[in-house]
Amino acid sequence: MPKKISELKESLKGEKSIHTDFRESMTYGEYLSLDRILDSQKRLSGHHDEMLFIIIHQVSELWMKLLLHELTAAIEEIGAGDLQPAFKKLARVSKIQSQIIQGWDVLSTMTPAEYLEFRDSLGRASGFQSHQYRLIEFALGYKSDYILKIYEKDADLHSALEQAYRAPGIYDAAIGALAREGFPINPDLLDRDFCRVYDGDPSVAAAWEEVYRDTGRYWELYQLAEKLVDVEDWFQQWRFRHMKTVERIIGFRPGTGGSSGVAYLRNVLDHRFFPDLWDLRTTL
């Protein structure tokens, strides 16, 4: 039977080792800087649901910060040939993506009429301008130079984005892993212009097909391929859920940042980050 409240209180009194004096010690709130975090929700309108809108997007940005932390480390590990630790990080990336998707479900409880009550307060601010989202796209290999102009207001941020734009992504690291294993990868791919979006190569496709036909021999590469497919699968679900949430709340209106809104989000769904890994599902 569940304990009564009085019994729970008595049980708590019995926990003699619980610390209650923090005059000389760091508290949980201090460790997490909760005063700054919880004071960062500044509504620009008086509407109740603006709090929901702000918190969902702030939480998404925190998840993206962790996602980038894991993804950046995984790229370095794959590049160094240390695949096993990278697998753990990529599995975590997929779980993070599932959390962001759940956030869209919460935001979709807001109706179009409620959003219109404070939409004008956003001005030109839009999730389209999320620099962390762009860093994730760059790390996955989706590069678009026109996006960089959005961030010219902040020189340091623009520089960081430009550096990520020119850097190899996770699939470039994976192709390098195939080459180290002895597969005859097109040498032009190993020192290519990483600003260009990768759209497939016969030598890479052939290598992955051999990996999938002999998984026992190439077990680590096979695991790497499946982890990458997991990440892309979740990312596309994230994109789709974003699109449907936007459509549910604003329909086909343009976004506050000037994009076409749903039409733009629908177009990017057609892009594949790791085309060889999807094509081999048909060719195997």
| Other CB atoms within 10 A of residue 211 CB | 23
Is residue 57 a known part of a binding site? yes
Q: What span, in angstroms and rounded, lies between the C-alpha atoms of 102 and 99?
A: 5
DSSP state of 197: P
**Type of residue numbered 187:** P
Q: How many residues does the chain have?
A: 284
Q: Is 252 annotated as a binding residue?
A: no
- Whether residue 56 is annotated as binding a ligand: the answer is yes
CA distance 71 to 89: 7
CA distance 218 to 178: 10
Q: Is 55 annotated as a binding residue?
A: yes
Report d(CA 265, CA 256) in Å as an integer. 14
Is 19 labelled as part of a ligand binding site?
A: no
Query: Annotation-wise, does 54 bind a ligand?
Result: yes
CA distance 255 to 250: 9
Report whether 100 belongs to an annotated binding site.
no
Please, are residues 141 and 172 in contact by the beta-carbon 8 Å criterion? yes
For residues 138 and 162, give the distance between their C-alpha atoms in angstroms, rounded to a whole number.
10
- Among 170, 174, 173, 98, smallest CA distance to 140 is for 170
CB-based contacts of 108: which residues, under 8 Å, 6+ apart? Answer: 244, 245, 248, 249
Binding-site residue set: 53-57, 115, 119, 242, 256
Binding-site residue set for heme: 242
Binding-site residue set for substrate: 53-57, 115, 119, 256
